[in-house]
Structure 1
Amino acid sequence: MMRLRDPRTGRLRAAAFALLLLAPLPATAAEGDPPYEESLVRLSEILGALHYLRPLCGAEEPTLWRDQMEALLAAEEPPPERRGRIVNAFNHGYSSFAALYRTCTAAAATAVERYMSEGERLTRDITTRYGR
């Protein structure tokens, strides 16, 4: 027997999948890491997501977010293991959205808005609390 699919079900599945993929990475701070490590890793993940989503949604800034990530790494000068965690977070943010979106949708545009706000908040909190 053939079953007809409800298009709403497909959207719900896609949304559930997005939530799983886009959940923040688990805390990755190791001994000796700065106290803002978790926030920095999350910020890196957001930069990766924006690097994919902003151009997808029409922003003419093909390297802005990757450039921001490179500036963050230059400012931090992390040792190789820590650098790897930060870069992996950026790549996770990028690939999570690349797996879901091929065109800019309302959900993608909403994600951009939310990530821009969260990224601004994290940047402000890190620089205010830790002077970086």
Structure 2
Amino acid sequence: MRFSSFLTVRRLRVGAVAPMLVVAFLAAGNARAADPPYDAPLVRLAEILGALHYLRPLCGATEPSLWRDQMEALVMAEAPSPERRARLTAAFNQGYSGFAALYRSCTPAAVAAIDRYLDEGARLTREVTTRYGGDVAPQR
């Protein structure tokens, strides 16, 4: 699947979204500097994944661990320092708990939030891979 197809994904085709998030950030590489230049968008993406992990099942999606699994894959691909790992995990948990504190059932606002986060995740992924995809070589 081409990366550009990520942009056309909506709620009904969410299965195509999650693998593209990981592929996109894998393509960006995993620099070993204290904070890579794409760290802020990556932290925001972690928060989005946490929100989707809570909201998607709340609104009837049958993918109970998809977004958490994608977060795990992203962290494994990054191989972050303990501090960065904690920051990414905290962002994921913040995205999850922020919606868990407010929503007990699926509402039109929850559906709108899902759509917004899918769009923002696509935008962040596109921007990071476009800007940093060829500049940073993965180190293993």
Smaller-chain TM-score bracket: 0.7 to 0.9
Partner of 2:44 in structure 1? Answer: 42
Is 1:113 equivalent to 2:115 in the alignment?
Answer: yes
How far apart, in 2, do the equivalents of 1:109 and 1:75 lie? 30
Partner of 1:62 in structure 2? Answer: 64
Partner of 1:86 in structure 2? Answer: 88
- Give secondary structure in 1 for the equivalent of 2:60: coil
Identical-residue share of aligned pairs (%): 71
Structure 1: gaps (5+ residues): 1-30
Task: Report the Cα offset of residue 62 of structure 1.
Answer: 0.3
Partner of 1:27 in structure 2? Answer: none
Letter in 2 for 1:47: L
Letter in 2 for 1:122: L
How far apart, in 1, do the equivalents of 2:62 and 2:130 lie? 30
Letter in 2 for 1:121: R
Partner of 2:15 in structure 1? Answer: none
Task: Report the Cα offset of residue 129 of structure 1.
Answer: 1.4
Bigger radius of gyration: 1
Letter in 2 for 1:58: G
Query: Structure 1: which 4+ aligned runs deviate by more than 2 Å?
Result: none
How far apart, in 2, do the equivalents of 1:64 and 1:52 lie? 11
Partner of 2:29 in structure 1? Answer: none
How far apart, in 1, do the equivalents of 2:53 and 2:122 lie? 15
Partner of 2:101 in structure 1? Answer: 99
Structure 2: gaps (5+ residues): 1-32
Task: Report the Cα offset of residue 59 of structure 1.
Answer: 0.7
Letter in 2 for 1:52: Y
- Give secondary structure in 1 for the equivalent of 2:72: helix
Higher RCO structure, 1 or 2 (CA under 8 Å, sep 6+) = 2
Per-residue CA distance 1:28-75 (angstroms, 9 max, x = gap): xxx830001110000000000000000000111001000110110011
Q: How many residues are treated as equivalent by the alignment?
A: 102
Partner of 1:122 in structure 2? Answer: 124
What is the RMSD computed on CA atoms of the aligned residues?
1.2
